[in-house]
Amino acid sequence: MAVFRWITRYNTRRRHSRLGQISPINYEKTAGSLTTAT
């Protein structure tokens, strides 16, 4: 159970330098609204 709590915390709240110092949840929210030109 401790591992599950760690994974949940790590994946949702921890900021990541690769994502511009935002959490993965916030990154997904902003990336979902972006569109790419084809």
- Tell me the mean pLDDT in the region 8-30: 71
What is the distance between the alpha carbons of residues 26 and 38, in angstroms, rounded to a whole number? Answer: 25
Q: In the predicted model, what is the mean pLDDT of the chain?
A: 70
- Tell me the mean pLDDT in the region 25-38: 71
- Every domain of the chain and the residues it spans: 1-34
What one-character-per-residue DSSP string does 1-38 give? Answer: -HHHHHHHHHHHT--BGGGTSB-HHHHHHHHHT-----
Backbone angles phi, psi at 14, to 5 degrees: -75, 135
Q: Does position 21 have pLDDT exceeding 60, yes or no? A: yes
Q: What is the pLDDT of residue 12?
A: 58
Q: What is the pLDDT of residue 31?
A: 78
What is the distance between the alpha carbons of residues 38 and 23, in angstroms, rounded to a whole number? Answer: 28
Which pLDDT band, with edges at 50, 70 and 90, does 11 fall under? low
